[in-house]
Structure 1
């Protein structure tokens, strides 16, 4: 099933999607029809410039949501939270599908509303995600800092295209889980959810504010290339990325690629690769039931002592102890 829409300023996802699947919305809740699966999509409006959409469902067939950039400008900021151990693929501007990460597909993205994207949700998997839509004025009011960082200035300014990714730490995951589980029949439920949404926004923008700088201009074509480069980096975790080769693939100078990648993902290309290796190692140790030596060799380490030291630096304990914890 594919749902396509144009991100115009007055577009309402809930009512349009309900019309697409021939269902009805009651009190801002869309119950998924039984012939399609089960679950719901719920919209909660806190004001004209601030609302969220909660998604929790399991579908009988794949769902592809295709957002097309609109010719009509919109300053809407979208913050997307996805918390699940199952694969989620996202593409921008007709790029090949890119998984958020190799094993843990929980992620946060902050994006302007002028980018085309495609999100693919697999069938027979429980989907949990939330989208916050907020305008710059409201976000500025929430953040309320006299001297915002360059990243925050770009996000809360007007006319800039941007896409930032952040890993979802344990606390935002728990917040999202609690919000989805809340009884919305409680008369104070909206009050509770609003507080938790602001708490989530704090976690996101605190992390983004720590990034060194974001002074490199970026456009849709650059974003497409970065997503593809990110996929290339994690495609084979046994081989470190070669910057020269990546820059040729991206059709960018090495300087521009390094700068844009760090700006978008918050870390260097090599550090991103090492983090992905450690996540893969943790997965294989826990669920793959492989020995430390097997895991180390699988992800390209010939020196197992070096692998153990690096793993302990990331997870606070050596691989052997981690596998039994």
Structure 2
């Protein structure tokens, strides 16, 4: 039978683990990281504060056996987004959802009152997931002027910090979510660049998850019916699009090359990748630009041209919008770090 620890027992185990060196931790004003080499679990947990009202938690553990924790939630009220890469996490959230079960490859959205009792059970095996905590005031700021586009499930936060509690499973993550998730888990930066990168990717995940919701708060479902052959052609179109990012084919030409009509290509591309055809290309160009700037073999103008931006000013604006920093400043920081 799985051992379930009380919050007091968990705290005692933590203190003992720190004393014996089986648990180490480091923290500053921005990030707290704990590393476990403990009989109960091995791996790390990090919590990073991003912009005001936003933080991200990363769990990456190997659990030798099933174990649990019975505690009362002490987090102040947030909207929580979960993206689970691997492992199963069962939760009994009293008064909200007493049979919640997070599955690998799926995402979840929930919010419940401070003081809610939870019994969390961690299954044996690899457990990798990301949790984003979004405070109500930031949610209102992000949706200001566009409140009609906020999922109905979250609209009560427009009026109060303490709406009714809820727990919503949103089903399978889109490929775009999976890419962003892996980029966060494999973040190549440290210090201020790490925080900037994580903030950009966290906001991207928030956007992708909210886009998955219908106005009534249920998972969004595309009406287009994709057969296996259609899916293969759309992936083929993606590959063609990325073969020459400086001179991509038009949408009509791309559809012709993969033997689809442009309407099915557009709608199918959005279903599989969570964005438009050229939105996907735009994101890929910026990711490629960040890699080239990091390598340092080209200046900003050369990188802009190499990834298909004819206008350097537009490139700088797009790069800053995605990464929160000008490309020239980004390159300078990367050079200083490698010096």
Q: Does 1:178 align with 2:183?
A: yes
Q: Does 1:151 align with 2:153?
A: yes
Residues 140, 117 of structure 1: alpha-carbon distance in 2 compared, 3 angstrom cutoff: same
2:278 alignment counterpart = none
Q: Alignment partner of 2:147: what SS? A: coil
Larger Rg: 2
Residues 69, 99 of structure 1: alpha-carbon distance in 2 compared, 3 angstrom cutoff: closer
Gap regions ≥5 residues in structure 1: 7-13, 213-262, 272-311
Q: Shift in Å at residue 98 of structure 1?
A: 4.4
Q: Alignment partner of 2:228: what SS? A: coil
In 2, the alpha carbon distance for the partners of 1:79 and 1:19 equals: 29
Q: Does 1:30 align with 2:34?
A: yes
In 2, the alpha carbon distance for the partners of 1:96 and 1:133 equals: 21
Contact 2:77–2:111 (CA under 8 A) maintained in structure 1: no
Residues 78, 34 of structure 1: alpha-carbon distance in 2 compared, 3 angstrom cutoff: same
Q: Per-residue displacement from partner, 1:219-267 (whole Å, max 9, x unpaired)?
A: xxxxxxxxxxxxxxxxxxxxxxxxxxxxxxxxxxxxxxxxxxxx5x548
2:57 alignment counterpart = 53
In 2, the alpha carbon distance for the partners of 1:59 and 1:203 equals: 30
The counterpart of 1:78, out of the listed 69, 80, 87, is 80
Residues 57, 164 of structure 1: alpha-carbon distance in 2 compared, 3 angstrom cutoff: same
Contact 1:152–1:205 (CA under 8 A) maintained in structure 2: no
In 2, the alpha carbon distance for the partners of 1:40 and 1:16 equals: 19
Q: Per-residue displacement from partner, 1:38-71 (whole Å, max 9, x unpaired)?
A: 310011112553211111010222232444256x
Contact 1:18–1:30 (CA under 8 A) maintained in structure 2: no
In 1, the alpha carbon distance for the partners of 2:175 and 2:58 equals: 19
**Residues 139-288 of structure 1 aligned to structure 2 (within 5 Å):** 139-148=139-148, 149=150, 150-156=152-158, 157-160=160-163, 161-167=165-171, 168-185=173-190, 187-208=192-213, 210-212=214-216, 265-266=218-219
Contact 2:88–2:127 (CA under 8 A) maintained in structure 1: no
Contact 2:77–2:113 (CA under 8 A) maintained in structure 1: yes
Residues 186, 19 of structure 1: alpha-carbon distance in 2 compared, 3 angstrom cutoff: same
Residues 19, 147 of structure 1: alpha-carbon distance in 2 compared, 3 angstrom cutoff: same
1:230 alignment counterpart = none
1:90 alignment counterpart = 91
2:68 alignment counterpart = 64
Root-mean-square deviation (Å): 3.9
In 1, the alpha carbon distance for the partners of 2:12 and 2:55 equals: 16
Q: Shift in Å at residue 21 of structure 1?
A: 4.6
1:242 alignment counterpart = none
State the structure with bigger RCO (CA 8 A, min sep 6), 1 or 2.
1
Q: Does 1:117 align with 2:118?
A: yes
Aligned length: 215
The counterpart of 1:316, out of the listed 204, 209, 227, is 227
